[in-house]
Structure 1
Amino acid sequence: MSRLIDSIIQTLPAERLARRPSLVAVHAFFTVVRSWRLGLAMTLTDDAIYHGGVHRPVRHMGEMETRPLAELVTWTASDQPIERSVGMAALNSALPLAGLPFREGNALDLTARLGAGRQVVVVGHFPHLETVRAAARQLHILEKRPQPGDLPAEAAPQVVPEADVITMTGVTCLNDTVEGLLALKRPGAICIMLGPTVPISPVLFEAGVDVIGGAWVDDERVALPMMAQGATARVLRGLRNVLTARDPRLLEGLPVIVPPPEIAS
């Protein structure tokens, strides 16, 4: 388990972690755990993204709902990729949202706005980066599965320290690369972390993240069947993309949004 993820887990009181989930489901692209709210994480199935080297069966298959969150969140340190995904989804399901100032918005749109005329690095190959590319002075994309025009993930030490804006996928929390990337960030640079996998926790701000671009599920009736039938993040509906920042001035002009009471606490 990374020290960062362990620090996030340590913020949760024992009574919160005593709850047992009402749903644990591993789908093609998303892993889902429902406890205090519906928590999501990318399903790790590609050795290029995370290679734990362990191919044993997942523990407690068919009975994960009998295990307390306190046990499931420790799976964020598992070498078994599916267990690791379950652990992150369990953690996300337990994190309270109440008290955090949220704005509604898309983290890639924010990247384009904050990166206008500046050096931008995006960790992870996202769709629809044309707006970011058009706004930035220079854009580098780091990817563990490089596509034409991308740089391999191993090039991070060459480009991240020069960046004014670094936007990274929340999957970096799953594959233990987040701390190494944050260590490369130069003083004054802005770091945005995005995606449903991102733990929405102020601990990320203490670690050097400036903006969390996360999501919560606001319509399970839409989102759950879509995930069960192979939806990717690009097409998944029933999510609300939200932003929260260490410095609220970074989000000025975006509409304020408050999480519904049933998922806030």
Structure 2
Amino acid sequence: MSNRWFLYDALLDSVPDTALVKSFTCGKHWLMVETDSGGIGMAQYFPPAPGASDSAQSCHDMVGQPLRRIAEKIKSWDFNAASIGLAALNAANNTLALVEPSPLRTALDNRHGDAFDFFLSEAKGKKVTVVGHFPGLGRLRQHCELSILERQPQPGDLPDTAAEYILPQQDLVFITGTTFINKTITRLLELSANAKVYMVGPSTPMNPLLFSHGVRSLSGLVVVDAEKMSASLKNDNCEAIFGHGGQKVNMVAESCH
């Protein structure tokens, strides 16, 4: 494949040229971008490399800037900056400001809840890999042959470099949305061509165009209360966002037809 940026470019086309950044919040684990048109997007906070400046600390420079300009940071090899870009991209996609009928609105009404519970029946008895060590995977392990790929492996995990060997043999693959930040998403989709692929986590761009590129469902986060969410970002608990302003939602390809 000659253009490795095709997914990024397609998603960036979803960002309106007229939208401006209204506010930016940086927490211990998550970033949030809010637009002047009511869009709100989240992404995982990637700390800067040792000795590098923290892009998130220049938040005052982002307010009033075109959302598209900030979203383009997603293509940066500075993952700290790329995480801000993904939050901005998600502000154009993962939002209750979508007042017109949409697949996301339908999913919010009918398909909310945790992704691993939502797709548990699909995983039973299958070979399943989760890219990224999510909380609560023990319940999934009870029902399938589970492998967890992680850049910073915990006990029982495999290093993420095992993807080349593991993914082509899987039935189901759950991929964290943060793979857009570290630029592994394109290769992971290639390796998972024989599997059903589900993208999961608050960093997931809830845009149906991903269904045309091998993804069966998008399980992400919609911010329903920006004020509560902003306050929860300061919490040391990584899961705090789900009980304070955020709603988990599952958008499956079939609901878009």
Sequence identity, in percent? 29
The structure 2 residue matched to 1:202, chosen from 208, 213, 216, is 208
Q: State the shift of 1:30 in Å.
A: 0.6
Q: State the shift of 1:111 in Å.
A: 3.6
C-alpha separation between the residues in 2 aligned to 1:212 and 1:228? 26
C-alpha separation between the residues in 2 aligned to 1:46 and 1:108? 30
C-alpha separation between the residues in 2 aligned to 1:196 and 1:151? 23
Deviations 1:214-250 (A, max 9, x none): 110112232210103444136642211111111249x
Match of 1:252 in 2: none
Q: Which amino acid in structure 2 is aligned with residue 127 of structure 1?
A: P
The structure 2 residue matched to 1:215, chosen from 213, 217, 221, is 221
Alignment of 1:37 with 2:39, yes or no, is yes
Alignment of 1:133 with 2:133, yes or no, is no
Alignment of 1:74 with 2:72, yes or no, is yes
What CA RMSD, in Å, does the superposition of the two structures yield over aligned residues? Answer: 2.3
Q: Secondary structure at the match of 1:135?
A: coil
Match of 1:104 in 2: 112
C-alpha separation between the residues in 2 aligned to 1:153 and 1:18? 39
Distance 1:122 1:143, change over 3 A: same
Distance 1:54 1:176, change over 3 A: farther
Match of 1:263 in 2: none
Match of 2:181 in 1: 174
Once the two structures are overlaid, the 10-residue window that deviates more, 38-47 or 164-173, is: 38-47
C-alpha separation between the residues in 1 aligned to 2:54 and 2:166? 39
C-alpha separation between the residues in 1 aligned to 2:249 and 2:54? 35
Q: Which amino acid in structure 1 is aligned with residue 85 of structure 2?
A: G
Q: State the shift of 1:46 in Å.
A: 7.0
Q: Secondary structure at the match of 2:41?
A: strand
Alignment of 1:22 with 2:22, yes or no, is yes
C-alpha separation between the residues in 1 aligned to 2:77 and 2:160? 21
Match of 2:162 in 1: 155
Contact 1:116 1:135 in 2 (8 A): yes
Contact 2:198 2:215 in 1 (8 A): yes
Q: How many residues align?
A: 239
State how 1:224-235 maps to structure 2 within 5 Å: 224-233=230-239
Contact 1:40 1:93 in 2 (8 A): yes
Distance 1:58 1:223, change over 3 A: closer
Match of 2:7 in 1: 4
Distance 1:230 1:6, change over 3 A: farther
Which consecutive residues of structure 2, in runs of 5 or more, have no partner in the other structure?
none
Q: Secondary structure at the match of 1:44?
A: coil
TM-score under structure 1 length normalisation? 0.83
Once the two structures are overlaid, the 10-residue window that deviates more, 146-155 or 234-243, is: 234-243
Match of 1:83 in 2: 81
Q: State the shift of 1:99 in Å.
A: 1.2
Deviations 1:14-60 (A, max 9, x none): xx23221110122211111001321100011276xxxxx99245395
C-alpha separation between the residues in 1 aligned to 2:64 and 2:14? 23
Q: Which amino acid in structure 1 is aligned with residue 143 of structure 2?
A: A
C-alpha separation between the residues in 1 aligned to 2:219 and 2:165? 25
Match of 2:121 in 1: 113
Deviations 1:176-215 (A, max 9, x none): 111111001133x211111110000112111111010011
